[in-house]
Structure 1
């Protein structure tokens, strides 16, 4: 059993994450082990990975997620994940564990979750949201190429500490599409194939330099296509709960009335201390690189 760090938690597990996650000697927060999961998870979701739809289930003690042909996962009390493989390789298993599976565990621990990307600029975090294809991962990759830490490219975890929002760093690896590799002219020697598909690659940032502590949230930007009728503008805080709820990354069955109440309260707190912007994404990779330079310069001089 080894110990690693992801999303600010020390994971004790029989899965080999060496070279992907930072190692830890701290007290264990979460146990991840192989086991048998007899309970059924057969409720459809909108979550797809490798073209396979996840199905969801729930017991009195656990949340269940199942990808046919990949594996079953049981998440309990915010501190235990049990997985049952269905013939997949360890690389794919790692990918699925570090996606919605750990997302369900973070949900149990009360974190505010969004489907998006986040980067660290100076001492602050910038979050980018959008529908699939909006460019959030590509935007994060552009910041990564410019030398900034990519805190996550998929699951954004926000914690309220003293009522102020901070982004919890996920782990040093992120995924990028092949067209992003070509468009940003990223060195292929830094990449390895993703287990999620032939057109995606993995970038592993230096483990020693990856942030371990939460990063104060500066802004959340909703990205829209370049031909969108949306205006580039800062949104009023009162619209934050509705806009952010659109980017909930987990099965919709979790959107209970109790969760919605907590979400609205936390979203308003987030909007009180952070900018909520909407932006038509830069048109093309040259414009994207210029956007990164402009944002970097603004943050440095602000």
Structure 2
């Protein structure tokens, strides 16, 4: 599995991934879609020209690749769509987000593909912040009802232009796919522990009518934005998790905060964006001014 951060020592496997004979259909389905079927604890996904995937109980993934499909393509879909479904099987809330650690709390950046989630996380990583997760953020409530983010142990995934603009060439790993200018990038430091949510930012470009800066929507609108930024939103409804998203959205809004961040998409404006964020973290009590100065170095 390319793109995963190596672990020191032996650990007990939480998920097994293996090549198997994946059935073409499930018995006792409770829901179906154009290319998937779900029973109580099994999920069958078929990706044309890639293969079929069988997920069981939130802990097992079996795959059968289509002819002439290589390891790179299988790995990309396993780590992306398939693992996102597995987390939904566990009743995790899964956001399309990257996250960094700020003073022991996870700060999440949500948005559609191309919104700059990974690039912003990488820019903050280059300034000394620790990566928590990239592309997918799995959230649960702890025993006290506090929303926590679980680290995913992955490298960042960045396009060449982002790597060049952020001067991260020395951290660039292998290409995600042959003839594709997107690469795995060592984050430098990455968290291996779950941590409370400190803030969630919905990323937008500052095109009219959006004004540049950070704003806080009301609780209902914030929860709706959260659901809209679920990893594969259709699964939220089809797997009966819409209420869970509203519950965790309300918990995040109460304990941390859901915000919109509208900013220029130019690399030349990245320093300004980081400054806005650090000032906002001090304003909401996530950091003190001295802590921000220490991180900036």
Scaled to the shorter chain, the TM-score interval is 0.7 to 0.9
SS of 1:98 mapped into structure 2: helix
> Is structure 2 residue 69 aligned with structure 1 residue 69?
no
SS of 2:277 mapped into structure 1: helix
Task: Normalising by structure 2, report the TM-score.
Answer: 0.82
> Is structure 2 residue 180 aligned with structure 1 residue 193?
no
More strand by share: 1
Q: Deviations over 1:237-258 (max 9, x none)?
A: 2322211111121261541484
SS of 2:23 mapped into structure 1: coil
Task: Normalising by structure 1, report the TM-score.
Answer: 0.81
Task: Select the residue among 17, 23, 38 that pairs with 1:32.
Answer: 17
CA distance in 2, matches of 1:24, 1:146: 29
The count of corresponding residues between Structure 1 and Structure 2 is 275
> Is structure 2 residue 86 aligned with structure 1 residue 101?
no
Q: Deviations over 1:4-58 (max 9, x none)?
A: xxxxxxxxxxxx56974425634332222210112249944xxxxxxxxxx3222
Partner of 1:214: 194
Structure 1: 5+ residue runs without aligned partners?
Answer: 1-15, 45-54
Question: Per-residue deviation at 1:139?
Answer: 1.1
Aligned 8 A contact 2:200 2:259 in 1: yes
Question: Per-residue deviation at 1:196?
Answer: 7.8
SS of 1:272 mapped into structure 2: helix
Question: Per-residue deviation at 1:212?
Answer: 1.5
CA RMSD of aligned residues (A): 2.6
Aligned 8 A contact 1:121 1:296 in 2: no
Misfit runs of 4+, over 6 Å: none
Task: Select the residue among 227, 241, 247 that pairs with 1:259.
Answer: 241
Partner of 1:7: none
> Is structure 2 residue 122 aligned with structure 1 residue 135?
no
* Matches for 1:273-284 after TM superposition, within 5 Å: 273-284=255-266
